[in-house]
Structure 1
Amino acid sequence: MGLETPFARSGVVAPGLPVLPPGVERLPVPGGGSRAVEIRAGDEITLVDREGGQRAEVVAFRPDGRCDAGLIGKAADWVPDGLRRSLDSRSGRVVRRALERAGFDLGQALGVAAFGPESRPNDSVAWVAAGDGLLIVAAPGGPMSPEDNDTPTDILLYLRRADTGEARTRHAPPDPLADPVLDVNIQPGEAHVYEVPAGTWIQILDVQGRECSDFQAFSKRALDAGTDREIDPTATRSMTGTAYPLPGLHSKFWTVDFEPLVEVVQDTVGRHDTFGLACTSRYYEDMGYFGHRNCTDNINAGLAAYGVRPRAGWPAINFFFNTMIDADHGIVGDEPWSRPGDYVMVRALTDLVCVSTACPDDIDPANGWNPTDIQLRTYRPEESFQRAIGWRKRPEDDVEMTKETGFHDCFAQHTRDFVEYQGYWLANATRAGWQDEYWACREKAAIMDLSPLRKYEVTGPDAEALLQASVTRNIAKLAVGQVVYTAVCADHGGMIDDGTVFRMSDHAFRWIGGTDDSGLFLRERAAALGLNAHVRTSTDQLCNVAVQGRLSREILSEVFWTPPARPTVDELGWFRFTIARIGGFDGVPVMISRTGYTGELGYEVFCHPKDARAVWDAIWAVGAPKGMLPLGLAALDVLRVEAGLAFAGHEFDDQTDPFEAGIGFTVPLKSKQDDFAGRTALESRKASPQRRLVGLVLEGREVPSHGDCVRAGRVQVGVVTSAVWSPVLNRVIALARVNMPHGEMDEVLEIGRLDGHQKRLPATVVPFPHFDPTKSRAKGLY
């Protein structure tokens, strides 16, 4: 583990606000990348191998430019070739600039190596700086071949500063994203008014976390004409169809004249308010706090110079303010979700006059009971920032921004409709429309980006034992080159994830799941059981497209060559994989599995992101003339519901066991004698089932929503997990989880809409999968 501990006060633990010891800085070094940091005499330096098996390379320079490992009390004995190669990575370019500014030459430098293939997760080394200088740390590693498992992973660098007089009790603003034009710290109870020309990037940062910032913007052109035209929250909700804009298609804030003023580009929180006003004197007076500083009065004072009429309450975009509408239509609030350094970035779509505040509210949870500062930065229009939403694997982890997969640009040629999915942008629908995509998959072929699936390399002498003790299927029966679909359950039987296990060799497996929760679970379980197995992240080393449909085999067999010892695409059996190359012996390497999520004959093609364009071009060149189309998430949802395939958050969650999720076949309690996570609970649940997943067909064309109640008379007996209009069946179908003894074949139930009683949709229980229940199409038996 690292040096962080969760923030705790009065019995409340907040893992999302990690606390470091005084004077300690946490500096992650990305896998395959590097980091440079200034050190001073007496500083304690700690490196942590977060996932295990990752070498670290360390080089130290004195202020006079000499490379000297003695700065950290070591003798230089390592040629840092991995560090040098890392300078071509994104993080490495920052290190390269630091070296160039200081005039240091890495070309002749020697360094120190730490960790290696045998290091365990969270192994650490520590040194003390003998003098001032520049420390460079790399977590070297190159592109991982699809058939290998040498994925580079992160190293954590901690610095405990010797000069405790510099130790901060509060967080400093993070580094700017570019050279700022405006860089202002707004203290609680203050407002700052500023002008920005069209195209300017505006970044509003919550420095300490849990602090709200009201934002309002006016059209400069309208103000010059004597008219107030500012962001209107109600108009914005009407135009976007969402409570508040987020990066993507629905990202603009509008005036009552339907003029867009700003567009949200990046957001690391995704939880804000657009329902209330900026805090007002009336609010504090009604609470008994007369004369309390408030954002509305501060906004009025700041805008007076522009002739803006003062108001008793300002409608504003309350960034980081956590309010919501409850079931009784009341506006309720709680502490913000924002962490230290979280921010929102918007871009001015016209010349603007803006105002930003740091809210002084200290009488309720709006600012976590402790108003703090807001940092305001603006950047020139010439800068470039990609759309992104922040996400974290765990509450205590560093925020990561939405990424583009290796295939993103390929799909962007066919659509602008991208949505955030598990930290990546994926196409929702192409210009062809989801129906055409759907029929292409059912009748010809379709290609879809599945790169956000989480990949983990499970290796070591105890790799099989770890998986055998963690997943429901019998991994001991899995042959090299075989794939198996399985569930991962917690001790109480609830599902953590579902996914597939690939047996790469005798002691190497690849786990592919829907979320990072399952990979983290495997790593924690290896430590708990004392097993000699590594579980290392490889998601960013492997991107994959699914090629699905009756022509998929024909297309891929024309594209890929396989070595004589490997099965060809034509020979590849169901739930088997092979290693192949584009065209021939020297082509781009890929891994191809006969798997999919559509109920059709299909394959998945895995490659390194650097090769994604070449893989796409080769498949597209053969597939497009045969009628293959790109496939988005909208069409995929219809395909997988027709095929009765489970989806996380719908058919299962950590309160649902595999039997209740309709995938009881993944739990072979009789043939698998070994113990595994959740086995005892699953034996009990199977013996006394409480709920089951059933198929439904509905009258009419109205499609119910996920979460709609299923009723027998006035009593709720279940819930809709997924529902779609099925083009091939020409009717509405659904999957629902219902309480026993309901759910018998041909039983007529009703799906409740509105309040569950005023509107009912008759539904009949039928077998599922609704389409091709024998899976003959997936087996290639058309």
Structure 2
Amino acid sequence: MSTNTLLKRTSLFETYKKYGAKVIDFGGWELPVQFSSILEEHEAVRKEAGLFDVSHMGEVLVTGRSAESYINYLVTNDVTKLSINQALYTAMCYPDGGTVDDLLVYKLANEKYLLVINAANIKKDVEWMEKHVRGEVKLENVSSDIAQLAIQGPKAEVILQKLTEIDLKKISFFHFAQHVNLDGITDVLVSRTGYTGEDGFELYLTTDKAEALWEKLLKVGKEHGLKPCGLGARDTLRFEARLALYGQELTSDISPLEAGIGFAVKTNKESHFIGKDILAAQRERGLTRKLVGIEVKGRGIPRHGYKVFSSKGEEIGCITSGTHSPSLKKGLGLALVSAEYAELGTQLKVEVRKKMIDAIVVKTPFYKKDL
């Protein structure tokens, strides 16, 4: 275990040791990349269930009479459509359409919202939010007070149900319950959301209760194959499900439309939002770049930053994420390429360690849960 005290740690850091975690520096945080192996943890989530500590994520509480209109000005999706105990996925953009961050918005009550942002972007995001405050709004960065655990996989509901009397089946996708009691651990927000492509829940609670909940879940989940999981499996799982990662699929130079999350961009919503004009123009005239899935045909794994070429050798883009897919047993990548090369079946080449490897544009998501 590293003893680097310069890195931030979640309230579960000492608990990692008990489960044999291998920790790494992840955006300034000392976090587990794996407990057993990435492959074993990936398979546990696909077939049974996995438990993740994602307490490094940021949370901002937004309250006040103007909270709804203010958030709607900040984000690309339409917050006015939310009911209490409902969440939505969205992005914040710069005026030029580039992405500040992607995030979740939870409507806790009228005039009260929780915004969940990426850990590496907390400082930047909060400054952006503060810079663009309008109306009667109060912002509170509560990131250091809130822990988040994610239990994901086909057996997640069965396991979590053992700890609560509320009927989890009544919580539909992108909805949540507040003030839930999980076997004596009170005031937990239980959200049917996740970042794995599987069914599951994200659990928000105060940091002092996180270790107890972690232990309870692993205890009741043991008979169902629940395993502690690290960032490695979280990345391969989200990749197979084609879920965007900020810093790779989304950046200040890549718009949400280019990144393929146009469903979260409501350019037709009545109110103005930052970047709306540029995004509306992109949508109207058509994109010059698109995010596509690729499968490599030769030996080699497409990695982030690798260059992508047309079959004739013209450089047309780059890999944003790539790996040897644990579920599909093949080399796959997400690539941002010139739009004319985005059609399914298009033959491409990827430069892997100075060798040109044949690849083809394939359908995404690479993995989709059978419902």
Q: TM-score range by the shorter chain?
A: over 0.9
In structure 1, the residue matched to 2:138 is 534
Structure 2 letter corresponding to 1:425: E
How far apart, CA to CA, are the structure 1 residues paired with 2:291 and 2:275?
20
Corresponding residue of 1:642: 240
How many residues were matched structurally? 365
Match of 1:293 in 2: none
TM-superposed deviation, 1:419: 1.3
Does the CA-based 8 Å contact 1:428-1:633 persist in structure 2?
A: yes
Q: 2:300 aligns with which of 696, 702, 710?
A: 702
Alignment match of 1:678 (pick from 266, 270, 275): 275
Alignment of 1:593-612 (within 5 A): 593-612=191-210
Secondary structure of the 1:570 match is helix
Distance 2:139 2:104 in 1: 15
- Residue aligning to 2:356: 760
Question: Contact 1:700–1:731 (CA<8 Å) still a contact in 2?
Answer: no
Tell me, yes or no, if the aligned pair for 1:459 and 1:509 is still in contact at 8 Å. Answer: yes
- Alpha carbons of structure 1 residues 723 and 509: separation in structure 2 relative to 1, 3 Å: same
Residues 1:581 and 2:181 are matched in the alignment: yes
Q: Is the 2:197–2:237 contact (alpha carbons within 8 Å) kept by the matching residues of 1?
A: yes
- For residues 164 and 331 of structure 2, the distance between their equivalents in structure 1, rounded to whole angstroms, comes to 39
1:387 maps to a residue whose letter is N
2:8 equivalent to 1:387: no
User: Are 2:63 and 1:469 aligned?
Assistant: no
Residue 412 (structure 1) aligns with: 17
Cα shift at 1:423: 3.2
Q: Which has the higher contact order (CA 8 A, sep 6+)?
A: 2
Measure the CA separation in 2 of the matches of 1:724 and 1:599.
16
- State how far apart, in whole Å, the 2-side matches of 1:429 and 1:767 are: 29
Letter in 2 for 1:424: W
Which aligned pairs between 1:62-461 and structure 2 lie closer than 5 A? 386-389=3-6, 402-430=7-35, 432-461=36-65
Output the amino acid matched with 1:561.
Answer: E
CA distance, structure 2, for counterparts of residue 657 and residue 650 of structure 1: 12
What residue is the counterpart of 1:509 in the other structure?
Answer: 113
Amino acid at match of 1:512: V
Q: Report the counterpart of residue 257 of structure 2 in structure 1.
A: 659
For residues 412 and 423 of structure 1, the distance between their equivalents in structure 2, rounded to whole angstroms, comes to 19
- The residue identity in structure 2 corresponding to 1:721 is T
**TM-fit CA distance, 1:425:** 1.7
| CA distance, structure 1, for counterparts of residue 200 and residue 162 of structure 2 | 15
In structure 1, C-alpha distance between the alignment counterparts of 2:326 and 2:211, rounded to whole Å: 32
- The corresponding residue for 2:291 is 693
Amino acid of the residue matched to residue 308 of structure 2?
V
- 1: CA distance, partners of 2:324 / 2:298: 10
Query: For residues 466 and 737 of structure 1, what CA distance do their matches in structure 2 show?
Result: 32
Residues 146 and 206 in structure 2, CA contact (< 8 A), matched pair in contact too: yes
Aligned partners of 1:561 and 1:491: how far apart in 2? 47
Q: Is the 8 A contact 1:466 1:522 kept in 2?
A: no
* Residue 98 of structure 2 corresponds to residue 494 of structure 1: yes
Quote the offset at 1:414 in angstroms.
1.6
Aligned ranges for residues 21-60 of structure 1 at < 5 Å? none
1:741 Cα deviation after fit = 1.1
Over 3 Å counting, the alpha-carbon distance change for 1:482 and 1:690 in structure 2 is same
Look up the equivalent residue of 1:525 and give its one-letter code: H
Identity fraction in percent = 29
Q: 1:416 Cα deviation (Å)?
A: 4.0
Report if the CA contact (8 A) 2:63-2:137 is conserved: yes
Q: 2:132 aligns with which of 493, 502, 525?
A: 525
1-structure distance, mates of 2:28, 2:163: 30
When the two structures are superposed, what TM-score results if normalisation uses the length of structure 1? 0.46
Instruction: Find the residue that maps to 2:208 and give its secondary structure.
Output: helix
Q: Letter of the aligned partner of 2:291 in structure 1?
A: L
Aligned-residue offset at 1:701:
4.3
The one-letter code sitting in structure 1 at the alignment partner of 2:63 is T
Pick closer, same or farther for the CA change 1:560–1:423 going to 2, 3 Å.
farther
2:17 partner letter: A
Structure with the higher fraction of residues in helix conformation? 2
Q: Is the 8 A contact 2:95 2:278 kept in 1?
A: yes
Gapped regions of structure 2 (runs ≥ 5)? none
C-alpha distance in structure 1 between counterparts of 2:358 and 2:18, whole Å: 42
Query: Aligned AA for 1:570?
Result: K
Q: State how far apart, in whole Å, the 2-side matches of 1:706 and 1:699 are.
A: 18
8 Å CA contact 1:415–1:427 kept in 2: the answer is: no
Q: Secondary structure at the match of 1:427?
A: strand
1:750 is aligned to 2:364 = no
Contact 1:697 1:732 (8 Å CA) reproduced: yes
1:467 deviation in Å?
Answer: 0.4
- Which residue of structure 2 aligns with residue 551 of structure 1? 155
Partner of 1:714: helix, strand, or coil? coil
- 1:428 is paired with a residue whose SS is strand
Code of the residue aligned with 1:545 in structure 2: it is L
The CA distance in 2 between the partners of 1:633 and 1:605, in whole Å, is 17
Q: Which residue of 2 aligns with 1:718?
A: 317
Following the alignment from structure 2 to structure 1, what is the Cα–Cα distance between the partners of residues 83 and 305?
Answer: 40
The offset of 1:696, in angstroms, is 0.5
- Give, in whole Å, the separation in 2 of the partners of 1:493 and 1:621: 46
Cα distance between partner residues in 1 of 2:244 and 2:185? 36
What amino acid is the match of 2:363?
A: P
Larger Rg: 1
- Residues 700, 636 of structure 1: alpha-carbon distance in 2 compared, 3 angstrom cutoff: farther
Q: TM-score, normalised by structure 2?
A: 0.95
Q: CA RMSD in A?
A: 1.4
- Asked if 2 retains the 8 angstrom alpha-carbon contact of 1:557 and 1:570, the reply is no
For the 8 Å contact 2:298–2:359, the answer to whether it is kept is: no
**Using a 3 Å threshold, how does the CA distance of structure 1 residues 732 and 459 change in structure 2: closer, same or farther?**
same
Q: Name structure 1 gaps, 5 residues minimum.
A: 1-247, 250-385, 390-401, 563-567
| Secondary structure in structure 1 of the residue aligned to 2:253 | coil
Contact kept in structure 2, 1:411 and 1:630, CA below 8 Å: no
